[in-house]
A and B are shown apart, each in its own frame.
Chain A
């Protein structure tokens, strides 16, 4: 079983404004990018399970072929730096995504 964190060159999280967290996953080869894109594992449902959020909390899930990457943007439960926030920059929210298993494509 291959994990997303093994295939990606960059796998990170960051605020996109104080009310959203955005996850970026970038690859350095088209082969690995395609493998992940075509695995069918990167769905709103998968992300909801990983982050225990509702589907409407995912504002964007977009692949960008030129950059060999995809992006997921979701709403924060608590805005950046407010009472109860645990990650002001949103910079350590990516870890659950690293362990997502990506199945190898079956030929044919």
Chain B
């Protein structure tokens, strides 16, 4: 073996352990500063945090807003940046701003600039953009490079593409590794496959991509793989040449072989087969063992490169506007015939607005305390003395939603159903005014795979 093979990038020995600190499972969720500082005792090669998810629904991506506050993101980043820069540890943020579109990335960059400015620090910052234009998606569709993920996802029509303003794709590790090669201090990624920013550290240092991605899959959730698990605490991952270890950085939490193995289940469709950008991760034959108290070693994670490199697209479009009302019902006679009354109220409102096409709006009732969560699929029969009712009108315009909701509310409040004794009113409103203008409603209109032709994620060094 020649020296050039023995030494990896930056002259590091290939058998050097690579350590990654994940402060928390979601940037802006917060973490105990002491846990983070316990991680600083180790020689670290990266501080990496995931900032994104589709779990909170399509609104963030569609409206270009975040689900965590600027104040909380700044608090978390301040600890990461001041400690990372002084020790020359690269800092990577995945899926910046929650959805990783341009507005989300810019929002994150502004917060970073504020911190650097206030602290009098300088940093080399790189951005990896994950936005795709409607034109790019149209072209991919024409070239047959778009594939549906599952049968219950509507096909990607030209009309859907045209009405979806914000489209991103989940990046793999490749552009992040490229940015690391430039020796930057902070990398802000647009939408990324959650484990990618973590995997990039290991792969950059010449480690096995299977181990790197499996560790990334664990670290991206913060201390959720420990017991008790939480996304709001720090965790340390160490990659060697043929295994990796994870350990809690808070002495009140402990990683065990079962807790780490079980974490593979979390938020994924399959317990041990994971599909990422350009690969499949097979964890079926992994071994999980405790090497010392609270330190779990994992071996056997297999990285299977895909024949064709597909990336996952995400897009959200505005579909309607909503107005809703929350009210309580305590009258036993009304509770006994609630659905019947709601049907009447819906029909009465439709009749009143008979000049408006019924396809322009929807009226829906949610009966909390009875079947608010599971709806018509609730297997339990109702026993109780009180129901929280929430009703919503979603319509083509906000004005229409407001108007119809006001009619639904007044009809519901005063409707004289058969057998009524409480002739003064049917609903207990907790607030005045009772009608809440919600604003636009979005849906995931793009959730498809796209075959990538060449690296589609542009790197910008600021």
In-complex Cβ contact of A81 among B262, B268, B443, B447 (8 A): B443
Whether the pair A89, B55 counts as a contact (CB closer than 8 A) is yes
Given A17-B447, A66-B261, A76-B152: A22 touches B374 (CB 8 Å cut-off): no
Does A7 belong to the interface (CB within 8 Å)?
Answer: no
Does A108 belong to the interface (CB within 8 Å)?
Answer: no
In-complex Cβ contact of A80 among B57, B261, B320 (8 A): B57
Q: How far is the CA of A19 from the CA of B444 in the complex (A)?
A: 9
- Most chain B CB within 10 A, of A50, A76, A83, is at A83
Does A71 belong to the interface (CB within 8 Å)?
Answer: yes
Whether the pair B444, A81 counts as a contact (CB closer than 8 A) is yes
**What class of interface size applies to chain A in its complex with B?**
35 or more
Whether the pair A81, B267 counts as a contact (CB closer than 8 A) is no
Q: How far is the CA of A67 from the CA of B366 in the complex (A)?
A: 37
Does B270 belong to the interface (CB within 8 Å)?
Answer: yes
Given A20-B269, A80-B444: A68 touches B262 (CB 8 Å cut-off): yes
Whether the pair B57, A19 counts as a contact (CB closer than 8 A) is no
- Most chain A CB within 10 A, of B262, B266, B366, B375, is at B262
Which B residues are CB-close (under 8 A) to A5?
none
Q: Nearest Cβ distance between residue B215 and chain A, in whole angstroms?
A: 16
Whether the pair A17, B54 counts as a contact (CB closer than 8 A) is yes
Whether the pair B265, A26 counts as a contact (CB closer than 8 A) is yes
Inter-chain contact total with CB atoms closer than 8 Å: 134
Given A17-B54, A69-B271: A75 touches B377 (CB 8 Å cut-off): no
Q: How far is the CA of A75 from the CA of B377 in the complex (A)?
A: 15
Q: How far is the CA of A59 from the CA of B153 in the complex (A)?
A: 13
Given A16-B267, A19-B149, A66-B288: A81 touches B57 (CB 8 Å cut-off): yes
Q: Nearest Cβ distance between residue B437 and chain A, in whole angstroms?
A: 16
In-complex Cβ contact of A19 among B152, B265, B442 (8 A): B152
B287: nearest chain-A partner, CB-CB: A66
Q: How far is the CA of A56 from the CA of B210 in the complex (A)?
A: 31
Q: Nearest Cβ distance between residue A11 and chain B, in whole angstroms?
A: 12
Convert B425-457 into 0s and 1s, putting 1 for each residue whose CB lies closer than 8 angstroms to a CB of A: 000000000000000011110010000000000
In-complex Cβ contact of B441 among A19, A51, A75, A83 (8 A): A83
In-complex Cβ contact of B56 among A59, A75, A79, A88 (8 A): A88
B444: nearest chain-A partner, CB-CB: A18
Whether the pair B150, A20 counts as a contact (CB closer than 8 A) is yes
Contact residues, A60-108 vs B (CB, 8 A) = 60, 62, 64, 66-71, 73, 75-76, 79-89, 92-93, 95-96, 99
Whether the pair A87, B373 counts as a contact (CB closer than 8 A) is yes
Which A residues are CB-close (under 8 A) to B374?
86, 93, 95-96
Does A28 belong to the interface (CB within 8 Å)?
Answer: yes
Which A residues are CB-close (under 8 A) to B322?
83
Whether the pair B54, A64 counts as a contact (CB closer than 8 A) is no
Whether the pair B288, A75 counts as a contact (CB closer than 8 A) is no
Which B residues are CB-close (under 8 A) to A87?
373
Contact residues, A14-32 vs B (CB, 8 A) = 14-20, 22, 24, 26, 28
Does B217 belong to the interface (CB within 8 Å)?
Answer: no
Which A residues are CB-close (under 8 A) to B362?
83-84
Which A residues are CB-close (under 8 A) to B57?
18, 80-81, 85, 88
Which A residues are CB-close (under 8 A) to B294?
none
A81: nearest chain-B partner, CB-CB: B57
Which A residues are CB-close (under 8 A) to B364?
83-84
Q: How far is the CA of A51 from the CA of B287 in the complex (A)?
A: 34
- Most chain A CB within 10 A, of B59, B152, B284, is at B152
Q: How far is the CA of A68 from the CA of B18 in the complex (A)?
A: 30
Q: How far is the CA of A87 from the CA of B371 in the complex (A)?
A: 12
Whether the pair B258, A28 counts as a contact (CB closer than 8 A) is yes
Which A residues are CB-close (under 8 A) to B106?
none
B394: nearest chain-A partner, CB-CB: A83
Whether the pair A79, B444 counts as a contact (CB closer than 8 A) is yes
Q: Nearest Cβ distance between residue B32 and chain A, in whole angstroms?
A: 24
Given A59-B269, A88-B56: A83 touches B372 (CB 8 Å cut-off): no
Does B190 belong to the interface (CB within 8 Å)?
Answer: no
Given A26-B265, A79-B444: A18 touches B58 (CB 8 Å cut-off): yes
Whether the pair B265, A71 counts as a contact (CB closer than 8 A) is yes
Q: How far is the CA of A17 from the CA of B377 in the complex (A)?
A: 21
Whether the pair B265, A67 counts as a contact (CB closer than 8 A) is yes
Whether the pair A22, B443 counts as a contact (CB closer than 8 A) is no
A contact residues vs B (CB 8 Å cutoff): 10, 14-20, 22, 24, 26, 28, 50-52, 56-57, 59-60, 62, 64, 66-71, 73, 75-76, 79-89, 92-93, 95-96, 99
* Sample of 29 A–B contacts (CB below 8 Å): A18-B58, A18-B444, A19-B152, A20-B269, A22-B268, A24-B262, A24-B265, A26-B265, A51-B377, A60-B270, A64-B272, A66-B287, A68-B261, A69-B271, A71-B270, A73-B269, A75-B151, A80-B57, A80-B58, A81-B442, A82-B319, A82-B444, A83-B394, A83-B443, A86-B372, A86-B374, A86-B375, A88-B55, A96-B379
B contact residues vs A (CB 8 Å cutoff): 54-59, 149-153, 258, 261-262, 264-272, 284, 286-288, 319-320, 322, 362, 364, 366, 372-375, 377, 379, 394, 441-444, 447
